[in-house]
Amino acid sequence: MASGVFAVLDDITALMDDVALATKVATRKTTGILGDDLAVNAEKATGFLANRELPVLWSITKGSLLNKLIIVPLALLLNAFFPVAITFILLLGGCYLAYEGAEKIVEYLGSVLKKKPSVVASPEPAEPAPTQEQAKIKAAVTTDFILSVEIVIIALGTVAGQSTPVQILTVSAVALLATVGVYGLVALIVRMDDAGHRLIKASAGKGIRSTIGHGLVGALPIVIRLLSVVGTLALLLVAGGIFIHNVPYLHTLHTGLPATVNEFGIGLAVGLLLTGLLALVKLFRSAPRVSNAN
């Protein structure tokens, strides 16, 4: 009886060792996408009132965990029974990320090039803050879903030759680490100013702590602006990477340029194409219909 228990414990220990090693490899493989995930989600989690930052971030984190609960079992099932579907899912997700990144660039360029009207129009009623908040949370969770698919697929690819228990535990561990790690760092970023104010208050405005506190408070707006730029670039880079690795023609295309430039260029091209197509669809829908009645 005792020997049977020890045998089971040995099997569990061996399984955990395999999972730990596989998780380490998978985490290293997903480092790039995790960095992009951090930049994108940090940018999306900012821009709220100070007292709403952590509640909003918690809502996004819960949405991210729900995403992982959906994606992990679905990816494992598709990988076992219908692996070709994973490629199509990745490509659709890449289209969404490319569109979102390109749309931000188009909106920014439009705001820069747009001339101020000579006559000030009457302002439209502002959208209620709760509605704006829910819209940003929904957009952040949707983007997290696409990035989570990429993370889970990459992690699954690193353990494709392992046993089913190792695959399940490794992918689950990477998915959980992605959510906890990314949103933990996002929480630290968005609360930089609070930490700075506390240091200033505790030091009575003097000494090294006061200097650090003022530095944190002054750095937050710069960090947020940088995250906005990096987050947009990350969307296009991730999208371009998805296309290059899953479209045979693009995968074998050699431009002589660095891989990062290729990924950004392809992501931007697809995003601009989708942005233009959607703009045309909206234009046709808003065009007045001519009646043919006699």
User: What residues contact 277, with CB distance under 8 A and at least 6 apart?
Assistant: none
d(CA 132, CA 215): 30
- Looking at the domain assignment, is residue 203 inside a domain? no
| 187-198 average pLDDT score | 80
- Looking at the domain assignment, is residue 117 inside a domain? no
**Residue 3 one-letter amino acid:** S
Choice between 160 and 262, residue whose per-residue pLDDT is larger: 262
Q: Which domain holds residue 25?
A: 11-112+131-191+217-283
Quick check: 227 and 39 in contact, CB under 8 A? yes
How much of the chain exceeds pLDDT 90, in percent? Answer: 6
**Residue 31 one-letter amino acid:** T
Residue 31 has pLDDT above 70, yes or no: no
- Looking at the domain assignment, is residue 182 inside a domain? yes
- Looking at the domain assignment, is residue 118 inside a domain? no
Average pLDDT score over the chain: 77
The per-residue pLDDT for 10 is 56
- Looking at the domain assignment, is residue 2 inside a domain? no
pLDDT in tens, 241-282: 888 888 888 877 777 788 888 889 999 999 999 999 998 988
pLDDT in tens, 96-154: 888 988 988 888 888 777 755 444 444 444 444 667 778 888 888 888 888 788 788 87
- Looking at the domain assignment, is residue 1 inside a domain? no
d(CA 223, CA 225): 5
- Looking at the domain assignment, is residue 209 inside a domain? no
- Looking at the domain assignment, is residue 32 inside a domain? yes
Which of 267, 210, 217, 268 lies closest to 244, judged by CA?
Answer: 267
Residue 16 has pLDDT above 80, yes or no: no
Residue 83 has pLDDT above 50, yes or no: yes
Q: Provide the 3-class DSSP secondary structure of residue 126.
A: coil
Quick check: 241 and 263 in contact, CB under 8 A? yes
Tally of structural domains, the chain: 1
